[in-house]
Amino acid sequence: MSRFLRVNMTTGEVKFEEVPEKYMPLGGRALTSQLVYDEVPPTCDPLGPYNKLVIAPGLLSGTSAPSSGRLSVGGKSPLTGGIKEANAGGIASQKLANLGIKAIILEGKPAGSDWYLLKVTPEGAELLPAGDLAGKGTYEVTAICRERYGKKVAVITIGPAGEMLMPAAGVTNNDSDGNSSRYAGRGGLGAVMGSKRIKAIVVDSPATFDVPVQDPERFKAAARKFAKILQDHPVTGQGLPSYGTNVLMNIINEAGALPTRNFRFGRFDKAAEVSGEKLAEVAVARGGKATHACHPGCVMRCSNVYPMPDGKVCAPIEYETAWCFGPNLEIGDLDVIAKLNYICNDVGLDTIEVGCTLGVLAEAGVIPFGDGEAAIRALEEVAKGTPLGRILGGGSANAGKIYGVTRVPAVKGQGIPAYDPRGCKGNGVTYATTPMGADHTAGYAVTANILKVGGFVDPLKAESQVELSRNLQIATAFIDSSGLCLFVAFAVLDNPEGMPAIVEMLNAMYGLNLTADDVLNMGKQVLKVEREFNRKAGFTSADDRLPEFFSQEELPPHNTVFDVRAEELDQVFNF
């Protein structure tokens, strides 16, 4: 039976609730965004008592559906001031689903300075003191909790950045090997968790794939079909399983859309040295793994395990992280990238936001471009809580204001990820208009712009980019609600049997008669709810714009500017 687990940090009450009927068809992002819309005042202080942190598995999580173990974390963002859903792999989603927990809702704020751990087991849930975990990094906290509560538990936790309420702090959970690096990173939701004085949530479930399914045989048939669709596609069946997400480095560089030196150039001459191919070579040579599953049942296995020279292991280095600590800073050393990545994972920060912020610091002359050791020294200030550390944890837009830098790649206060909007204009539309702040995963137009998946839209021309982004944002909102990994979209866009297979799994699981139109309407509804929350929070069409320099400065090598007109951007959500 599905239940909400509501934790009131003002009163200390922990209780299970029946799920109201309106929420029963929802999961993942659809559920987090609807609950935030219904229960959080849009103008509240994100770090105050009226904000809530909602943690929800997807609709298919906890089943044998391939690559369906994604977790949604939602709330009002301290970074953007708007609604936020951040998505993560790891084992927490499947365990929550197998305990029949549709969502955890953290609300209120304790009066004192104590820290707490929420323990969730088949027997119930309770708040425990966690003062001994305060100040510790996520790797140590996860190791302590796995030693204390069992090697198979999921540990959802924050690092010192979340404890210090830094707007770039994320929420992490572990993979099956215990690596605390599966981040719901974007938007500062780790600071929201920190404001509730929750250091960790331990989820103990003996089951992984045993969520009730109404028609098991029908479900198994659809799941097998969908797994084959993923395995037969060149991206999900070959590229990602061979080299992980960083297979994109050389591809995006060749396309001239790789943001280099804080978005001044579209190509980096050392891209091959930080590519997925190079990462796989080094990782395997050191006894690591070129690819790795972030949660049980993933057939794409696009993660990796990268042993570092100091004996520690960074798992994984994603493309966006390799970009923001590599080409973005003109650093061509995988070991430096891994070190920066590891520090972020441990202290509890979003790598993309930190990479963008380091780019702003380099723009301001605080650290030199190309100096990996300077970047590491700066990032080590975060755990100390020094002024520089707090600036780094405050995000790129805040750093720009502090240092008087106007050339800041951010939308709605959130840093722009690893695809320059002048060289991949569909992504530029997504960055400008998504309710989430600049976020490549909200509508990943790289598919048609560069990879020629789901058709082809010229990445250097403004034509058809609005329609492309709109359709992808709708589909993505649904996928984020399903619990499926976003990367299934590569196969779904190219195979007409992909979306029907997903719908068939949902119908078999819940005894429904959904159509493809029904699930896309779910995506539209998610976007409407998120847009309306932001409108009530004070957002206008002026917030759906890229920074000015993207329309003024030409991006080499194609010497293009972002030229999708403002009135076109205002049409994205006309559905």
Q: Which domains does the chain have, with CATH numbers?
A: 3-203 (3.60.9.10), 245-419 (1.10.569.10)
250 confidence band (pLDDT: 50, 70, 90): very high
Closest CA to 167 of 416, 393, 435, 414: 393
pLDDT in tens, 62-118: 999 999 999 999 999 999 999 999 999 999 999 999 999 999 999 999 999 999 999
261 confidence band (pLDDT: 50, 70, 90): very high
Is residue 414 within 8 Å of residue 353, measured between CB atoms? yes
Kindly state the DSSP code that residue 540 receives in the 8-state scheme: -
Q: DSSP string covering 282-331, please?
A: HHHHTT-EEEE-SSTT-SS--EEEEE-TTS-EE----HHHHHHHTGGGT-
- Terminal CA-CA length for the chain: 35
Adjacency order of strands within the sheet including 53-57: 13-18, 3-8, 101-107, 53-57, 71-76, 83-88
In terms of Cβ atoms closer than 10 Å to its own Cβ (0-12, 13-18, 19+), residue 22 is exposed
* pLDDT attached to residue 331: 98
Least confident piece of the model among 5-9, 62-66, 139-143, 292-296: 292-296
213 confidence band (pLDDT: 50, 70, 90): very high
Whether pLDDT at 458 is above 80: yes
124 confidence band (pLDDT: 50, 70, 90): very high
Query: What value, to the nearest 5°, has the Cα angle with vertex 443 and ends 545 and 343?
Result: 85
In order of 420, 513, 519, 547, the CA distances from 59 in angstroms are 33, 15, 12, 36
pTM for the full model?
A: 0.98
pLDDT in tens, 310-345: 999 999 999 999 999 999 999 999 999 999 999 999
18 confidence band (pLDDT: 50, 70, 90): very high
Closest CA to 487 of 222, 248, 311: 248
In order of 208, 258, 267, the CA distances from 252 in angstroms are 36, 5, 8
In terms of Cβ atoms closer than 10 Å to its own Cβ (0-12, 13-18, 19+), residue 570 is middle
Residue type, 381: E
Kindly state the DSSP code that residue 332 receives in the 8-state scheme: -
Tokens for 172, please give them.
């992490």
Whether pLDDT at 383 is above 80: yes
Work out the mean pLDDT of the chain and round it to a whole number. Answer: 97
The average pLDDT across 447-458 equals: 97
* pLDDT attached to residue 469: 98
122 confidence band (pLDDT: 50, 70, 90): very high
* pLDDT attached to residue 377: 98
Q: How far apart are CA 255 and CA 260, in angstroms?
A: 13
Q: State phi, psi for 232 to the nearest 5 degrees.
A: -85, -10
* pLDDT attached to residue 3: 98
CB atoms within 10 A of CB 434: 26
The average pLDDT across 125-138 equals: 98
* pLDDT attached to residue 508: 98
Whether pLDDT at 489 is above 90: yes
Contacts of 424 (CB under 8 A, 6+ apart): 252, 255, 257, 445, 446, 449, 450, 459
Reduce the secondary structure of 15-79 to three states and give it as a string.
EEEECCHHHCCCCHHHHHHHHHHHHCCCCCCCCCCCCCEEEEECCCCCCCCCCCCCEEEEEECCC
* pLDDT attached to residue 26: 98
pLDDT in tens, 519-562: 999 999 999 999 999 999 999 999 999 999 999 999 999 999 99
202 confidence band (pLDDT: 50, 70, 90): very high
